[in-house]
Amino acid sequence: MLKARLQEDALLGRCLATSCSVERGELVLEELPFARGPKRDSGIVCLGCYQFLQFGEDGDSLDRCELCDWPLCGSCADDEDVTEHRGECQVFSAARVTFAGNVSDDGVCPQLDCITILRVLLAKEANPERWDSEVAPMEHHEEERKKDADVWHADRVNIAQYLRGPCKLASRFSEELIMQVVGVLEVNAFEARSPKGYPLRCLFPYTGILAHNCVPNTSRSIYPSEGYKIRLRAMVDLEEGQPLHHSYTYTLDGTAQRQKHLKQGKFFTCQCDRCLDPTELGTHFSSLKCGQCAEGYQVPRQPTEADTSWSCASCGSDTSNVEALAMLQSLQSEVNAVQALPMGAKRLEEVERLLRKYKSLLHPLHFIATGLRQLLIEMYGRVQGYEMVQLPDHQLERKAELCRQVLRVLNTFEPGLSRTRAMNLYELHVPLVLLAKTGFIAGKLKGGELRARLVDAIDLLKECVEILEFEDKSSQEGVLCVVAQQALKQLTLSVEGLGSELD
């Protein structure tokens, strides 16, 4: 570990803290995965590159390993550098276990659920010291997982009993150990993307024990080209001994939604400052417009409690949690229906309609409204009829304002080097540049004013590049970094040329 150390916390248990002071952007930790493999409940994927494969109803496909007959695309079968399938290939070949190719109605192939677990078990045999010191102590919440009897039973049958029975591994791995590994992965694994964008999961023993906080102070990046190495960087300046934390949930969800996700997937209730504050650090990210008075907003009295009431600070009126969540569920259903529309003008216009409709129901920065703004940011300039070069000034100003509103939230919840902030900074610079140029052409701006506005856009691009420069070049963020660097270079040249003209 570079600038992190293990420590025991009375509330959090094993966690990480800085071993020295760390500046924003500095590398805190990096490690290779203990094991990696397909996500749980996946379809049929190649066990080398994780791309989705087409198998017939009878299980027929040419995309099979020549030795064990399990899913492997032709490219991976011919590539000697693809090593992750070799371990299970030996197991399946020796036991003569065939791949049936069966898929459930929802597209899941239960037979592949054993793959990543088996890879962890094989890595345990190959690296017993690393298992004992790093993986074995990881939390797996066995008692909590047993409460979901259906899932526990399915894991015992589809994974533990399958590996110990047909795969003939009973003498090597106990059922208890296998179920422990299932839990370790469910609680601690990270999702990654292959170089071609296919999802998989990786187990990082140190990064996996990062404490959770709904306002993270680190960001992580995974590098497929380096064996899926993970690197953890400080989002803000950190002092020596400061706990390191990341968000296990989506930062732009409201408190109730984040709590539900953490309880179901990570088996704990978050008690961070954001969750305990009814106003979510002053953003009112979950606050509802009061139905009894014109000025007030209703907030949950005890945000982390499932039976909390909602109260208006202005008039004191109360609403039950059941009523509040029912209303939100209704709104979310409307949003989901609009999101399902094809990308195009109608979808954009429907999102705008919902935003206008919800003004009387939600705080302006509510997470549903913020999510709608993020959708609009991504559509303005990209859908037919709203291409960037065709947008009139008022729609360019609309896109810029949408970006500023989302950034107001991100500045609180993801301060510093946030990838989401970087993408919104890039989106914001485009309308600002176009507005500056059209204003100058129309004679509304003088040369000095044009230059000042372009310099503002340059500052946005500089921060965007600063955030994204360490991302893997094949990732979406890495590609955007290159685009932002090119835009920054061109805009800087333009400003330099403009400066000489003004002189």
Helix (H, G, I), strand (E, B) or coil at 191: strand
Nearest to 331 by CA among 357, 293, 292, 298: 357
Q: In this structure, what token pair is assigned to residue 91? A: 């197991």
Distance of alpha carbon 399 from alpha carbon 392, whole angstroms: 11
| 8 A C-beta contact, residue 247 and residue 214 | yes
Per-residue pLDDT of the chain (503 residues; tens, 9 = 90+): 789 999 988 777 889 999 999 999 999 999 999 999 999 999 999 999 999 998 876 667 889 999 999 999 999 998 888 889 999 999 999 999 999 988 888 889 999 999 999 999 999 999 999 999 999 999 999 999 999 999 999 999 999 999 999 999 999 999 999 999 999 999 999 999 998 899 999 999 999 999 999 999 999 999 998 999 999 999 999 999 999 999 999 999 999 999 999 999 889 999 999 999 999 999 999 999 998 998 899 999 999 998 999 999 899 999 999 999 999 999 999 999 999 999 999 999 999 999 999 999 999 999 999 999 999 999 999 999 999 989 999 999 999 999 999 999 999 999 999 999 999 999 999 999 999 999 999 999 998 999 999 999 999 999 999 999 999 988 899 999 999 999 999 999 999 887 655 54
**What integer pLDDT is reported at residue 60 of this predicted model?**
77
**What integer pLDDT is reported at residue 8 of this predicted model?**
86
Q: What are phi and psi of 195, to 5 degrees?
A: -55, -25
Residue 56 neighbours by CB distance under 10 Å: 8
Nearest to 248 by CA among 238, 259, 237, 239: 259
| H/E run at residue 193 | strand 190-193
Radius of gyration from C-alpha coordinates of the chain: 26
**What integer pLDDT is reported at residue 387 of this predicted model?**
96
Encoded amino acid at 75, one letter: S
Residue 1, CA atoms < 13 Å, CB-side half-sphere = 18
Residue 385 neighbours by CB distance under 10 Å: 10
Residue 431 neighbours by CB distance under 10 Å: 24
Q: What angle do CA 491, 492, 497 make, to 5 degrees?
A: 95
Distance of alpha carbon 186 from alpha carbon 204, whole angstroms: 12
Distance of alpha carbon 121 from alpha carbon 131, whole angstroms: 9
Residue ranges covered by each domain of the chain: 4-33+204-246, 35-203, 265-379, 393-503
Kindly report whether the global pTM for this prediction surpasses the value 0.85: yes
Alpha-helical (H) ranges within 83-164 are 86-95, 114-126, 128-130, 142-146, 149-155, 162-164
Alpha-helical (H) ranges within 293-387 are 321-339, 345-358, 367-379
The CATH number given to 4-33+204-246 is 2.170.270.10
